[in-house]
Amino acid sequence: MNTGAPADGDKVRQWLVEARLTPKVQANIDRLASSEDVRLVVVLPDVHLGKLINNGCVAATVDLIYPQAVGGDIGCGFSALGFNDTAEFLADDHNAQKLIRQLHQQVPALKQRTAQSLPAKLTDWALSDDSLVKASRREGAFQLGTLGCGNHFVEFQRDDAGTLWLMVHSGSRAMGQVITEFHLARATTSGTGLKHLDTRATAGQAYLNDMAWTVDYATLNRLAILARLVELVEAAFGITAREESYINSPHNFARRERHFGEEFIVHRKSANSASQGEVNLIAGSMGSPSYVVHGLGEERSLCSSSHGAGRVMSRTEARQRIRPADVKRQLGAVKHDAHQLHELCDEAPAAYRDIREVMQAQRDLVRQSARLTPVLNFKHPDRRVE
């Protein structure tokens, strides 16, 4: 008997920091849980409000796939690797500011100046429609190796032994949006207002195919940034990377998985897979640690965990409540671009949960294997207002 299988009255399972969720967040959970073919919803401790479906949520279905439960930035995630030296060189402010200037030059926010060659893994993969192929040659080629804005970041970190690490947070850029919108236009609207595709039909299979392509694009996008920065650090500071330390940790995707003796389509929106022994990354804020973790394979959570700390303020609220001086104080010793402080109030550490509380709330989902403390954080500000 699969005692962990979802039963009536057990359709939503929660690992939370707060005692109660806000009404809007709860309404999104209720909408997802009551949608057609949704068998189980898992709410993780970094949950925060998203459009129609929250970030930090996992949903299991049998036949239907919900693109909105994956999110528009398909394949978004963290990638990281360690180096063969310590982070001590970044204690020198001259070195830190030199690196920040090079980051501005080497890691664009939105587009490259010239088209990049897409890896054969992407060009040999048949997308489901000619319009998507054309988009991959247009948006895809010009955005490969770009960071994006807002909470996407490049961060140099140190583990507890002092060893230097590099982490990148980025996704599929415009390609995720293009592919999501293409399939949503062909989806069926359920009674709850969410849109789904049937994986037993051509349309659902096409989304699965294109989503998998986009997850790979996002991974290769982060790899392009990592590769460029590894070359930069070696050339400028003589420090080499440990390629065997590479970790790739996507958190916006769906795939078929077996749980409770049944096969489900597991949707993760801003959530990690946490199968037994699986290595992933959980990020803090600009001023708090991130963690390398190993999954504990907890079936009740669909073998999932949080992907980060999770927002406690919307961007608009953070811009209203947090001043540049607050950001500087909250960052403490973390190196940053001081000229951007007034534009980064919505990304201040205070806009996020305490990552220690998040990790404590999911201690039965993952085991910490390394703590990565930020030394230098780089972001392109998001000038949109929620």
pLDDT of 5 reads 63
Q: Calculate mean pLDDT across residues 238-251.
A: 97
Query: Is the pLDDT reported for residue 4 higher than 90?
Result: no
pTM for the whole structure: 0.95
CB neighbour list of residue 247: distance below 8 Å, 6 or more residues apart: 78, 79, 80, 81, 279, 280, 281, 292
pLDDT for the residue numbered 40: 98
Residue 382 has pLDDT above 80, yes or no: no
Collapse the DSSP code of 254 into the 3-class scheme (helix H, G, I; strand E, B; otherwise coil) and give the result: strand
Residue 381: per-residue pLDDT? 84
152 noted as active-site residue:
no
**The architecture CATH gives domain 27-378:** Alpha-Beta Complex (3.90)
**DSSP class per residue in 53-115:** S-EEEEEEESSEE-GGGT-SSTT-EEEEEEEEEESGGGGSHHHHHHHHHHHHHHS-SS--SSP
Positions of E strands within 103-198: 153-158, 163-170, 188-189, 195-198
Euclidean distance between CA atoms 15 and 305, whole angstroms: 9
Give dist(CA 368, CA 290) in Å, integer. Answer: 10
**From 4-13, 134-143, 297-306, the region with the lowest mean pLDDT:** 4-13
Asked whether the predicted pLDDT for residue 365 surpasses 90, the reply is yes
Stretch among 5-19, 85-99, 271-285 having the lowest mean pLDDT: 5-19
Mean pLDDT computed over 141-153: 96
| Active-site residue, selected from the candidate residues 307, 339, 342, 380 | 307
